Structure 1
Amino acid sequence: MLCHVNCRGVRSCYDEGKRVAETLFFDYERMHNTQIRVARIFNTYGPGMHPHDGRVVSNFILQALANEPITIYGDGSQTRSFCFVDDLVDGLIKFMDNPSGHSGPMNLGNPFEITILALATTIIRMTKSASTLVFLDLPGDDPKLRRPDISLAKSVLNWTPVVQLEAGLQRTIDYFKHLDLSR
């Protein structure tokens, strides 16, 4: 799958920075005749995530629990995929321990896509929130979809995520309900 990265957009330094880091690690591997693993991690969520990390799952859950309006950028039709932390940890351990010696890059994420609008309404329903939806302008370089191709992880590691989105969201919502957010 060919991926196109906008090298001039607002987020470009984030995307390009990750690619530079991968290149430096592969150079290190060659120069020092050692083994590395390069995992590309996609939208991980779950208990233990920082409530104010600015990611969509934590933002939506906090807004819903407080019955505040949920902020959606654009019309909400853009899709994302979310990988529960337990699945990611399982994938990382399998990647580190894989006997093939495959260095990567290896995409680790959940290929199940959901629209941002559907994510917001799901979280509102699951939290029994009175939140409304507020739509703001979408940043110009925001991708329309973001879904990992995990075919390499399936074939090399025999890994695929198992936690369904709503089950993972429920565990994350329960975690957030018990946080002291006054600090």
Structure 2
Amino acid sequence: MRILITGGAGFLGSHLADRLIEKGNEVIVVDNFFTGSKRNVEHLIGNPRFELIRHDVTFPLFIEVDAIYNLASPASPVHYQRDPVQTIKTNVIGAVNMLGLAKRLKVPIFQASTSEVYGDPEVHPQPESYWGRVNTIGPRACYDEGKRAAETLFFDYQRQHGVKIRVARIFNTYGPRMAADDGRVVSNFIVQALRGEDITIYGDGSQTRSFCYVDDLVAGFMKMMESDKPLLGPINLGNPGEFTMLELAQQVIEITGSKSQLKFMPLPQDDPKQRQPDITKAKAELGWEPKVDLRKGLEKTINYFSTVV
């Protein structure tokens, strides 16, 4: 198959490109490099089944493909708050453009949605049926509401035009090729530990997250696209193992052998206190669940960062 990945030079997109090419597909990566990096896909340049196009998805793209993975969007607060207007445009206008392409070509399209659609949840763990608790005018809204609007568009295109859609709600994911400056907790802790700096913990460290290793997540993406169902999603993809920020920091310090100390800072506005996926639906509909435990995944991620920090 000839497969388009928007945002394909990013952390998740580059790993997806690797897996799809390994399976014998042709992959076209589209990225404007707002947060993606050529370094993430440089090992694929020269491969006859790989093509890289610099393009912003807020503008129409005319291309012939057999399937579309729409991953274009900054995904960490540091990056999506740097240009909030561009963030919401990428998520909404980009979705319109990619759905239009899928409609014209009559091909399936995958949407990388997010657990951020649940906001700071009152339900724990979060099932797909939960509508969320999002501040529509807060500093995170450009991303949260952009992704929520994109989901609306996907389901409207499915109902109105019969577009074959897949919508995955992605929970915290980590692994090699994360940007060192993306401000997300795993990369922050690892980089600070490797540099011997204080590890910054916001709040008292009791807030929780669930961390999914990138290989597990990409396997979930591909299972969704390989399904013959006309409509699939939204489906939570993430690891239900729940850890506090203090537990994560302690594991990182132990694995790196760092002498870093913990430094506590005020909790950012609208930062969720809990985040854990209910993956009952993923197990039932996809036969998918994560396999890599946190310690093993952290060891692989730390090995990567030790070569780039």
Paired position in structure 1 for 2:161: 32
Paired position in structure 1 for 2:200: 71
Equivalent pair of 1:100/1:156 in contact (CA under 8 Å): no
Instruction: Provide, for residues 101-133 of structure 1, a one-character-per-residue CA deviation record: whole Å limited to 9, x for no partner.
Output: 332111111111000011011101110000000
Cα distance in 2 for residues equivalent to 1:57 and 1:174: 13
* Cα offset, 1:99, TM superposition: 3.0
Instruction: Provide, for residues 7-47 of structure 1, a one-character-per-residue CA deviation record: whole Å limited to 9, x for no partner.
Output: 34332332111100111122222332220111111111101
**Matching of residue 117 in structure 1 with residue 257 in structure 2:** no
Is the alpha carbon distance of 1:31 and 1:101 closer, same or farther for their aligned partners in structure 2, counting shifts above 3 Å?
closer
**Matching of residue 94 in structure 1 with residue 223 in structure 2:** yes
Cα distance in 2 for residues equivalent to 1:90 and 1:141: 31
* Cα offset, 1:48, TM superposition: 1.7
- Over the matched positions of the two proteins, sequence identity in percent amounts to 61
Paired position in structure 2 for 1:166: 295
The runs of 5 or more residues in structure 1 that have no matched partner are none
1:45 to 156, 164, 174: 174
TM-score, normalised relative to structure 2: 0.56
Higher alpha-carbon deviation: 45-54 or 65-74: 45-54
Cα distance in 2 for residues equivalent to 1:63 and 1:84: 20
TM-score, normalised relative to structure 1: 0.93
Aligned length: 180
Cα distance in 1 for residues equivalent to 2:228 and 2:240: 25
Cα distance in 2 for residues equivalent to 1:50 and 1:8: 27
Cα distance in 2 for residues equivalent to 1:33 and 1:7: 30
Paired position in structure 2 for 1:175: 304
Computed over aligned residues only, the root mean square deviation of the Cα atoms, in angstroms, reads 1.3
More strand by share: 2
- Runs of 4+ that moved beyond 4 A: none
**Matching of residue 19 in structure 1 with residue 148 in structure 2:** yes
SS at match of 1:59: helix
Cα distance in 1 for residues equivalent to 2:221 and 2:230: 14
